[in-house]
Amino acid sequence: MLELDQVWRIYEVGDSEVVALQDVSLNIDDGDFVAVMGPSGSGKSTLLQIIGLLDRPSRGRIAVNGEDLGELADEERTRRRLLTIGFVFQRFHLLSGMAAIEQVALPMEAAGVPPEERYERAADLLTSLGLGPRMEFQPSQLSGGQRQRVAVARALANQPRLILADEPTGELHTEDKANIIELFRRMHREGRTIVVVTHDQEVAAMAERQFEIRDGRLREVPA
């Protein structure tokens, strides 16, 4: 389904270059659960941004079902991202001062879902993640684990096929971490494709396929 073929990402910084990804090739099938482990600075976020259509390879190709995404205009890439990909981040990336239900409804507004359906779907999602009684709470009124569950609900808002997570438990305590791990398992059982980058062995252990990244080079390791 998703294919990276000899992908390089080189950042230009002043007169020098940072090679963040080197010759990365990767095939991800529908329904796969993939974890990428690597130390800080190894290229995890860069890889996820390329898979998530937030960035483009400097060299190489990214394709979905055989279609080369490098050919697509920015607007089309944005549309695809909105409709097919859900992102979860380490620091949640919620908007301060905005109620949980509004945060979850927002991507649906961008996707053109009518208001009534937006709020109904957002309420259902939050309820299914155990946040029914917290729908009107703002991020500052929620715990770390609750914030991350709002972020997961937001990622699921447009019913994406693919969930990408960048160190989703990095800011969480043990119990919250266990809850989020269980949520990823559930999303996988529901048929979603999941790619999580992490330096947490416990998080990586839930995946079916594990990769290691070092200095921008990716290799599969036995799960």
Binding stretches for ligand ADP (CB under 6 A): 11, 13, 18, 20, 38, 40-46
Tell me the Cα Rg of the chain. 17
Q: Kindly state the smallest distance separating residue 51's Cβ from ligand ADP, in Å.
A: 12
Q: Kindly state the smallest distance separating residue 25's Cβ from ligand ADP, in Å.
A: 17
Q: Is 199 helix (H, G, I), strand (E, B) or coil?
A: coil
Instruction: Give CA separation, 90 vs 7, 39, 129, in Å.
Output: 24, 15, 18
Q: Kindly state the smallest distance separating residue 74's Cβ from ligand ADP, in Å.
A: 18
Distance between CA atoms of 79 and 138, rounded to whole angstroms? 28
43 interface partner picked from Mg ion, ligand ADP, none, CB below 5 to 8 A per type? ligand ADP
Which residues contact residue 203 at a Cβ distance below 8 angstroms, ignoring those fewer than 6 apart? 35, 168, 169, 177, 181, 184, 196
Residue 45 in the binding site for Mg ion (CB under 5 A): yes
Q: Kindly state the smallest distance separating residue 91's Cβ from ligand ADP, in Å.
A: 13
Buried b (16+ CB within 10 A) or exposed e, 72-83: beeeebeeebbe
Of 9 and 177, which CB lies nearer to ligand ADP in the complex structure? Answer: 9
Distance between CA atoms of 216 and 60, rounded to whole angstroms? 14
Residue 90 in the binding site for Mg ion (CB under 5 A): no
Q: Residues 158-197: x/- map of binding to Mg ion (CB under 5 A)?
A: ----------------------------------------
Q: Which residues face 8 on adjacent strands?
A: 59
Among residues 217, 178, 183, 195, the alpha carbon closest in space to that of 35 is found at 195
From the list 41-49, 51-59, 64-72, 138-146, the region that binds Mg ion by CB under 5 A is 41-49
Give the type of residue at 140.
S
42 interface partner picked from ligand ADP, Mg ion, none, CB below 5 to 8 A per type? ligand ADP
From the list 15-23, 40-48, 77-85, 110-118, the region that binds Mg ion by CB under 5 A is 40-48
Q: Kindly state the smallest distance separating residue 198's Cβ from Mg ion, in Å.
A: 10
Q: Kindly state the smallest distance separating residue 42's Cβ from ligand ADP, in Å.
A: 4
Measured at CB, which residue is nearest to Mg ion?
Answer: 45
From the list 45-53, 109-117, 130-138, 153-161, the region that binds Mg ion by CB under 5 A is 45-53
Burial class (CB in 10 A: 0-12, 13-18, 19+), 140: exposed
Residue 46 in the binding site for Mg ion (CB under 5 A): no
Q: What are phi and psi of 186, to 5 degrees?
A: -65, -45
Binding site for Mg ion (CB under 5 A): 44-45
